[in-house]
Chains A and B, each alone.
Chain A
Amino acid sequence: MSEQEEEKAQSSYQPSEEAATHERVLARVVHWFDNRLGLSYELLRPAPTYSVNPFYWLGALAVVAFAIQGVTGAIMMIYYIPTPLQAYSSTLYIFQNVSYGRFLETVHLYTAYAMIMLAFMHMMRGYFVSVNKKPRELMWITGMVMGFVTLGFGFTGYLLPWTVVSKSATDVGIGMMAALPQPLSGFIQFLIVGGGTDSGTILRFYDLHVVVLPGVLLLLLVGKMYMLEAHGVSEPVAGPIPLPEKKRKLIPIFPDLTIYLLELAAMFGTAMLLISLAFPLNLAPEYTPTLAAQYASQPDWYFLWIYQVLKIEVFEGPGLTVALALVSAVFVALVLLPFLDRGTTRRIAARMRWVTLGLIFVGEVAVLTVWGYLTPGAIIPTEQAALVLGGTAIIIALVSAGAYKVIFRKLPVGTPSSGAQPPASPGAPYATKSFNTAALWTATSFVALLTLGTFGIGGAISGAVQLMSQGTRLSTLWSLSLSFVELSVAIAGTVYLLYRLDLGTGSIRRRVKAFEVGWRQ
């Protein structure tokens, strides 16, 4: 066999005799690259068709964002000077004198934001569909460390323009790290602050941002890709309907999946370009100690939730260490998740506790971030924090419990009073018009009860705090009793609704006839 024939035989992309002209031309191009790069020669594990879905490639998009930052950052490095005296002026020079300089800075910033957001979404998707189960525990831990490195990029890059906003926020961050227990505090201080001078700090931040962190991230990426190659793309979470054979079909990484990823990357790039065009970056004034005294220090949005926790009154002063320990505990729990969530099933229906915990985490992070944005520099009273954070957790837990009850309940054995008929055979679809109406009513009732309950909880806590701080007043007592009535109605209504829902499953041990009005067995 000649060399050319051998090449053709090795490649899986041969234009057939019947193929159209464009297909033959494209196949020839693909064939040329494939022969030189050997991408389809069993080197990379083929991927299942179900992975042609953007949710499977959120991490890959974060890598695309990292690549864009690499390119834009490399151009900015030509002009940027990492000294306290010249950092701001060189940034301003890029803004005003370099062609497309402002645009370049804006794209760099927004892709950094996108990278953090995509990494967070990638992590939470992995959490909810439980990809961390055996044998992917180390992939999860590697991914978490990559997430911390991504946050490190944000922290170190934020200081570099040396604006009053960035310098003040970084000073607050460095100050907080001093509250960490030794030797961790000493090590971090040595790593990022050095001798304690401004010039030492900015140089270390620059070094970490452009050399150390990219190197670490690339190493971790190689490790994660190696593990992905070993274990393959994770199976979708098992549902009631088995995945069709067509979705299980394997497709080669090159060119099929590569083309899909390029498609996603192009759309992501377009989004970044247009967002940067619509919201160009404005450079804050240069840092001076006098100007800094007039600004309320505020970190960038991705650290706001941590900052908001640290601003709670009870964590002021010596309590700061406790707050840092709490935040650290959340991070440690996330890293060790594969060893904490020991259940063997990945089904969302069977993991209510973990899914609810995840939803509470996302909800609390969102609430704290928005709250932090709205109250820069303000100390948050402890009672208010307890009310907001506790209320958020309770609402999410109740909504999650209700949703689980409605969505994942067992098939009914009786006939619901709404008139919905059970499916003809077990496992058959249970979607009739009357069933849908009943489900809609149930969901609406749950939402109404939760709203009432939320007001009840909020009002009761607020009333109790007012009683303690302002003494007994008629208005306070009135609002407190109203809150208790709201809460009682919400609890009674929820119990009644859950009872009615459970009637269908036949799992109720103690029947209450008064609750069964209109129910036909």
Chain B
Amino acid sequence: MTEQTEQMAVRVVGLLVIVGFASSVVLWTIDTSLASGESLFAVYLSIDLISFAMISYVYRVTKTGDSMGRIPLLAGSILMLILLAAGFAV
């Protein structure tokens, strides 16, 4: 694994940890009595799970020395952005 890849992995994981933490905080602030609460809960829990899956992916490929695929990271990031936008829309 090159130093550049390692630095990239650290940045990606750092960013994902922040996103995961922020969505967890939002999860605990949702008003459960509102009808929109259900949708927000599903959206932010999904963001949490996606960021967890991406962190696991980065850790796994970094450890095994495989090349880090851009497509899984890109797909996960786009999905998180869509969900974030949906969260705001709700």
A interface residues (Cβ-Cβ under 8 A, vs B): 20-23, 26, 99-100, 102-103, 251, 256, 259-260, 262-263, 266-267, 269-270, 273-274, 276-277
Contact = CB atoms under 8 A, between A and B. Distances in A.
Nearest to B53: A266
A99 B32 contact: yes
Given A20-B6, A100-B32, A266 B52 contact: yes
Interface residues of B, number: 25
B70 interface: no
B4 interface: no
Given A263-B53, A270-B49, A273-B46, A100 B41 contact: yes
A477 to B, nearest CB: 58
A95 to B, nearest CB: 11
A486 B57 CA distance: 54
Nearest to A99: B32
Given A99-B33, A103-B42, A22 B57 contact: no
Contacts of A20: 6, 10
Contacts, number: 60
B59 A100 contact: no
A263 B57 contact: yes
Contact of B56 (A103, A251, A259): A259
A262 B56 contact: yes
Contacts of B6: 20, 23
State the majority secondary structure of interface residues on A: helix
Given A22-B10, A259-B56, A103 B50 contact: no
Given A20-B10, A267-B53, A274 B41 contact: no
State the majority secondary structure of interface residues on B: helix
Given A102-B38, A273-B45, A26 B53 contact: no
A39 to B, nearest CB: 16
Contact of A259 (B32, B41, B50, B60): B60
Contacts of A263: 53, 56-57, 60
B60 A260 contact: yes
Interface in B44-64: 45-46, 49-50, 52-53, 56-57, 59-60, 62-64
Contacts of A21: 10
Given A263-B53, A266-B49, 7 more contacts: A103-B38, A260-B60, A262-B52, A263-B60, A266-B56, A274-B46, A277-B38
B57 to A, nearest CB: 6
Q: Which 8 pairs, one residue from A and one from B, show the smallest C-beta to C-beta distance?
A: A266-B53, A99-B32, A263-B56, A277-B42, A266-B49, A103-B38, A270-B49, A273-B42
A22 B15 CA distance: 13
A419 B54 CA distance: 49
Contact of B50 (A102, A262, A266): A266
B10 to A, nearest CB: 5
B53 A270 contact: yes
Contact of B63 (A99, A256, A269): A256
Contacts of B38: 100, 102-103, 277
Contact of A100 (B9, B37, B62): B37
A259 B60 CA distance: 7
13 contacts: A20-B6, A23-B6, A99-B37, A256-B60, A259-B59, A266-B49, A266-B50, A267-B53, A269-B49, A273-B45, A273-B49, A276-B42, A277-B39
A103 B60 contact: no
B41 A103 contact: yes
B64 A256 contact: yes
Contacts of A26: 59
A259 B53 CA distance: 9
A21 B6 CA distance: 10
Nearest to A102: B38
B18 to A, nearest CB: 14
Contacts of B60: 256, 259-260, 263
Contacts of B42: 103, 273-274, 276-277
Contacts of A276: 42
B11 to A, nearest CB: 10
A267 B42 CA distance: 13
B50 A270 contact: yes
Contacts of A266: 49-50, 52-53, 56
Interface string B56-82: 110110111000000000000000000
Nearest to B39: A277
Nearest to B90: A277
A269 B56 CA distance: 15
A221 B10 CA distance: 38
Given A22-B10, A103-B38, A103-B41, A270 B56 contact: no
A260 B72 CA distance: 14
B19 to A, nearest CB: 14
A168 to B, nearest CB: 29
Interface in B14-39: 32-33, 37-39
A28 to B, nearest CB: 14
B13 A22 contact: yes
A26 B10 CA distance: 11
A263 B16 CA distance: 14
Contact of A23 (B37, B53, B62, B64): B62
Contacts of A262: 52-53, 56
A270 B46 contact: yes
Nearest to A261: B56
